[in-house]
């Protein structure tokens, strides 16, 4: 395996490269984790695990599928953010730091809200973990706004 090194032709500073590496690592590892979760959910479905496929478990099944889908999506967003930072190295450090922090947080909070909402389902209503979703949604909005603002200002 070849190490990633900064070359003279790289448009990124070492700080910029740090963000690129961090989000590429996080993106690819979280993609592996959430794809594994998807395979696990499919195996529960394939083996007809009663605690997963019974009609009264529909809410759990839906929430866990949403956790898998959102986690996979956010993994890809991290890879896209790494590419954005690499291609737009003039993105202000403060904006880059805030967007990075919000993306990291939302990638953990939102899928966790869906996943933990699937535990303790009460009469078709999700468990208490679902209360993480509004927090994650706000973080996602802030991250996307910061990135869009920085991309617009970085002509």
> Using one digit for the tens of pLDDT, what is the confidence trace for 37-66?
999 999 999 999 988 888 888 999 999 999
Contact 100, 84 (CB under 8 A): no
Answer for the pair 96, 18: CB distance below 8 angstroms, yes or no: no
What pTM did the predictor assign?
0.87
Phi, psi (degrees; rounded to nearest 5) at 122: -115, 105
Q: Count Cα atoms within 13 angstroms, Cβ side, for 133.
A: 15
Exposure string of 29-47, with b = 16+ CB inside 10 Å and e = fewer, is ebbeebeebbeebeebeee
pLDDT digits (tens, 9 = 90+) for 93-132: 888 999 999 999 999 999 999 999 999 888 889 999 999 9
Structure tokens at 145: 């706004």
Close Cβ partners of 49 (under 8 Å, ≥ 6 residues apart): none
SS (H, E, C) 138-150: HHHHHHHHHHHHH
The predicted-structure confidence for 139-149, as pLDDT tens digits, reads as follows: 999 999 999 99
Q: Please tell me the predicted confidence (pLDDT) of residue 5.
A: 56
- For 31-44, give the DSSP string: HHHHHHHHHHHHHH
Instruction: Give tens-digit pLDDT for 7-24.
Output: 545 667 778 899 999 999
């Amino acid at each position: 395996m070849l190490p990633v090194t900064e070359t003279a032709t790289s448009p990124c500073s070492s700080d910029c490269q740090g963000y690129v590496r961090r989000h590429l690592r996080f993106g690819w590892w979280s993609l592996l984790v959430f794809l594994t979760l998807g395979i696990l959910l499919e195996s529960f479905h394939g083996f007809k695990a009663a605690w997963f496929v019974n009609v009264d478990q529909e809410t759990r099944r839906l929430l866990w599928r949403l956790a898998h889908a959102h986690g996979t999506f956010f993994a890809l967003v991290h890879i896209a953010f790494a590419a954005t930072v690499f291609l737009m190295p003039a993105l202000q450090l403060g904006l880059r730091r805030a967007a990075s922090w919000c993306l990291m947080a939302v990638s953990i909070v939102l899928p966790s809200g869906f996943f933990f909402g699937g535990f303790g389902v009460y009469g078709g209503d999700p468990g208490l973990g679902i209360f993480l979703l509004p927090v994650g949604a706000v973080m996602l909005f802030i991250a996307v706004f910061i990135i869009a603002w920085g991309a617009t200002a970085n002509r």
